[in-house]
Amino acid sequence: MPFGIKVLRFVAPGILRANTLPAVEQPAPLVGANVAAVRETVDLRVPLLAKNDQIAAGNRANFRARKILALNLVSSPGAGKTTLLSRTLDEFGLTTKCAVVVGDLETDNDARRLARPHAPVAQITTGTACHLDAGMVAKSADSLDLTGVRVLFIENVGNLVCPAEFDLGEELRVVLLSTTEGEEKPLKYPPIFKTAHVVLLTKIDVADALGFDRALAAENIRRIAPQAKLIQLSARSGEGLAEWYALLSAHLFKS
């Protein structure tokens, strides 16, 4: 077995919860006066995504302790995450050991595309869930041999909406926008861009053919995400990849 592909199947969290919630008997209706007498109001400040955030914090601590740079790659379906990762593994990955966790609703096609003898890859199939959560990442990272790995790419489910709300414990959130999607995507789907550390404008080799205005796209990205580093690249022509690899190198933990 030269490649480390493992397929993890997750049940959608909503369904899981519905099945495991203990059945509670419906209480008999209480008489108004009695209710008023014993009612109490409790002030709480419980954050409701706390569970995911706790697991994400654990992931982050784990990755940092092992000096693994974890990146969460997010984009619409078809923006070029897998193509970029394939080439990154073939070039950057030859000298810096990388691993990949990739999420899709179904199939292990992406994991098979990404599998390399020098790079462990795990596929997460989410079934119906539209994003990865920190628990899925924790389990799939556990399933991989991360010995010597310095970069872990987490390729999220293609979706520009829901992944914004789920911290996976990544060091850098990388949002991809392809030239086929139009310049206004950052304005139309702002939450995900707002949380990006890096924005990659992909498929710039076909920008002219599409009449895509790169300057306008860059300005839209800057308005929503002034904090994000913008790199324009094409995984096919290779333009801009040196800058992408330099960014990865700059963020590596000192070994």
Partner 1 sequence: MDAVLQQARTRGANRVHRIVLRIGALAGVEPEALRFAFEVVTRDTLAAGSTLQLEAVPARAFCPVCAAEFDAGMDYVFSCPTCGQLSCDLRQGRELELAQIEMS
- In the complex, the smallest distance separating the C-beta of residue 235 from partner 1, rounded to whole angstroms, is 27
Which whole-number Å values give the CA distances from 63 to 77, 149, 167, 168, in the listed order? 27, 10, 14, 11
- In the complex, the smallest distance separating the C-beta of residue 186 from partner 1, rounded to whole angstroms, is 9
Q: With binding defined as CB under 8 A, does residue 32 bind partner 1?
A: no
Residue of 33, 42, 65, 250 that binds partner 1 (CB under 8 A):
42
Token couple for 37 = 């007498």
Residue of 39, 117, 145, 255 that binds partner 1 (CB under 8 A):
39
Which whole-number Å values give the CA distances from 235 to 83, 178, 206, 216, 244, in the listed order? 7, 11, 11, 21, 10
Taking CB under 8 A as the binding criterion, the range among 26-34, 83-91, 92-100, 121-129 that sits at the site for partner 1 is: 26-34
Taking CB under 8 A as the binding criterion, the range among 45-53, 139-147, 151-159, 173-181 that sits at the site for partner 1 is: 45-53
3-state secondary structure of 152: strand
- 113, 91 Cβ separation under 8 angstroms: no
State the Cα–Cα distance between residues 150 and 60, nearest whole angstrom: 14
Q: With binding defined as CB under 8 A, does residue 15 bind partner 1?
A: no
State the Cα–Cα distance between residues 142 and 145, nearest whole angstrom: 8
Q: With binding defined as CB under 8 A, does residue 145 bind partner 1?
A: no
Q: For residues 31 and 209, which CB has a smaller minimum distance to partner 1 in the complex?
A: 31
Nearest to 167 by CA among 185, 154, 151, 186: 154
Contacts of partner 1 in 218-247 (CB under 8 A)? 222-228
The one-letter code for the residue type at 78 is: G
Contacts of partner 1 in 151-170 (CB under 8 A)? 164-165
| One character per residue 184-223, x = contact with partner 1 (rule: CB under 8 A) | ------xx-xx---------------------------xx
- In the complex, the smallest distance separating the C-beta of residue 35 from partner 1, rounded to whole angstroms, is 5
Angle formed by the axes of helices 134-143 and 50-65, nearest 10°: 30
Query: What are the residues binding partner 1 (CB under 8 A)?
Result: 17, 21, 23-24, 26-27, 30, 35, 38-50, 164-165, 190-191, 193-194, 222-228
